[in-house]
Amino acid sequence: MTVTAIVGANWGDEGKGKMTDVLAAGSSYVVRYQGGSNAGHTIINEYGKFALQMLPSGVFHPGVSNVIGPGVALDVETLLRELEVLQEKGVPAPRIFVSERVQVVLPYHRLFDQLEEERLGARSFGSTRRGIAPFYSDKYAKLGIQAGDLLNRDRLERRLQHALESKNILLQHLYGQEPIQAASLIPQLLDWGTKLRPYLRDTTALLHKAWANGESILLESQLGALRDPDHGIYPHSTSSSTLAGFAPVGAGLPPYAVTNILAVVKAYSSCVGAGPFVVELDGEQADELRRRGGDAGEYGAVTGRPRRVGWFDAVATRYGCRIQGATAIALTNLDVLGYLEKIPVCTSYELADGTVTDAFPVGAALDDCKPRLEYMDGWHCDLSDCRSWDDLPAAAQRYVAFIEEASHVPVTHVSIGPRREQLIGR
């Protein structure tokens, strides 16, 4: 029996969608276990290019069951829109199961997200304004709405009235907005319930049975280790745990079910959103790396914002792999660095007092860190047609070996382009 968690080792945007899509071909189930529509997984295949925000990345494989687990922030409108897009592009209808216990992102979550970011102004956290922080605030304040509630009008109305008691005070007295009436939301939410009904299941029971039967299960994470609210660059984090340790909780499996943890690492660094980013480049260097990065450059799959970019950060990656408990690394975007004669890599940080460290500091110290760089020989050629490890130039092989040594985790997959066939196994 194989349960594999596919997670990000850095700030997100590492290429988890592609890895999940490729590995899904040999799996029975793909499960989203946390996060919402605030980040996208980009996948390119024979049907076109897709940036999935809500659907699991196994939807392009007809034999795969795709599960949205109870730990997810379910954006119903995004889910339904993505299903329509798949249909329009000729993708066979995927097999989808949505947990009855998953909680739903509501219209007022997006409203509060927008209002708070506007109120904070220059102090904002760079939110995608998809309602994620207000959603998780409600979830842990026990004010959330489960998908199963959308099928029961009386219960739904009671839950909404309870949640809106405090929210309307904030709307009126903090944000200067009109209060929201529960009755105004009921028709839309009941309609969501009707549309979700065919997909709703006890997904925990479903996955326990699959696991007991020895079926292969992929658990798909959103964002990366450094965006985790407990272990990341808080407060510039997301609102759900991005770690493999949360995967069995958010999916509904026992903790000992997860036996493989594949940490996805980019061959350089990129980041969308605010927060400390020690290796960040600016000017022409940043523009060129951003322009060359990925299939269409380094721009957020959801926001379209230019990603902040920098050289590979061994300090952050080693830390990210450690807190993920990574058993293997999938290295992506190696091909992007082919334009460089010498490739800078960050091997340690210099703290504000001049101390040099190879440990990832707490946020209070991270803001003032400077990267200490070393340089590796580049391969200065196009890797996109390589199909085996031996096809890679010696300099590219040495670069992979450096990342493996710096991270203390074996690199088992190397991606040299956005398509499925551009993945080399080691």
Look at residue 125 in the predicted model and tell me its pLDDT: 65
Residue type (1 letter), 151: L
Q: How confident is the model at residue 276 (pLDDT cuts 50, 70, 90)?
A: very high
Look at residue 410 in the predicted model and tell me its pLDDT: 98
pLDDT in tens, 192-219: 999 999 999 999 999 999 999 999 999 9
Look at residue 358 in the predicted model and tell me its pLDDT: 95
Structure tokens at 156: 């739904």
If you average pLDDT over residues 292-315, what whole number do you get? 78
CA dist., res. 217 & res. 56, Å (int): 12
Look at residue 151 in the predicted model and tell me its pLDDT: 96
Question: By 3-state DSSP, what share of the chain in percent is helix, strand and coil, each rounded to 5?
Answer: 40, 20, 40
pLDDT in tens, 171-189: 899 988 999 999 999 999 9
Tell whether the model's pLDDT for residue 223 goes beyond 90: yes
Q: Which residue has the tokens 């999916």?
A: 251
Structure tokens at 1: 């029996």
- CA 56, 83, 224: angle at the middle one, nearest 5? 30
Alpha-carbon 200 to chain mean position: 23
In this predicted structure, which of 69-78, 128-137, 142-151 has the lowest mean pLDDT? 128-137
Neighbours of 46 (CB within 10 A): 9
pLDDT in tens, 28-44: 999 999 998 877 788 88
Enumerate helices (H) and strands (E) in the chain, giving the number of each: 12, 20
> Is residue 234 classed exposed, middle or buried when 0-12, 13-18 and 19+ CB atoms within 10 A define those classes?
middle
Q: Three-state DSSP class for 66?
A: strand
Judge contact between 98 and 68, C-beta under 8 A.
yes
Q: How confident is the model at residue 308 (pLDDT cuts 50, 70, 90)?
A: very high
Look at residue 419 in the predicted model and tell me its pLDDT: 86
Judge contact between 267 and 292, C-beta under 8 A.
no
Look at residue 1 in the predicted model and tell me its pLDDT: 60
Judge contact between 321 and 329, C-beta under 8 A.
yes
pLDDT in tens, 248-267: 999 999 999 999 999 999 99
CA dist., res. 393 & res. 381, Å (int): 9
How long is the chain? Answer: 426
Tell whether the model's pLDDT for residue 46 goes beyond 80: yes
Residues noted as catalytic: 13, 41
Q: Concatenated DSSP letters for 307-358? A: PEEESEEHHHHHHHHHHHT-SEEEEE-GGGGGG-SEEEEEEEEE-TTS-EES
Look at residue 43 in the predicted model and tell me its pLDDT: 85
Judge contact between 31 and 208, C-beta under 8 A.
no
CA dist., res. 10 & res. 308, Å (int): 13
Tell whether the model's pLDDT for residue 329 goes beyond 90: yes
CA dist., res. 355 & res. 212, Å (int): 51
Judge contact between 400 and 376, C-beta under 8 A.
no
Alpha-carbon 316 to chain mean position: 17
Structure tokens at 223: 């964002």
What are the residues facing 265 on neighbouring strands? 331
φ and ψ of 396, to 5 deg? -70, -40
Whether pTM exceeds 0.85 = yes
* Torsion over CA: 203, 323, 370, 342 (sign): negative
In this predicted structure, which of 53-57, 311-315, 328-332 has the lowest mean pLDDT? 53-57
CA dist., res. 5 & res. 318, Å (int): 18
Look at residue 66 in the predicted model and tell me its pLDDT: 97
The string over 179-216, giving b where at least 16 C-beta atoms fall within 10 Å of a residue's C-beta and e elsewhere, is: ebebeebeeebbebbeebeebbbebbebbeebbeeebb
* Torsion over CA: 112, 113, 115, 120 (sign): positive
In 3D space, the residue among 99, 132, 317 whose CA is nearest the CA of residue 241 turns out to be: 132
pLDDT in tens, 99-146: 999 999 999 999 888 888 778 677 766 667 788 989 999 999 999 999
Judge contact between 146 and 106, C-beta under 8 A.
no
Q: Radius of gyration of the chain from Cα atoms?
A: 22
Q: How confident is the model at residue 148 (pLDDT cuts 50, 70, 90)?
A: very high
> What's the mean per-residue pLDDT of the chain?
92
If you average pLDDT over residues 339-368, what whole number do you get? 95
User: Which stretches within 374-420 are classed as H helix?
Assistant: 394-407
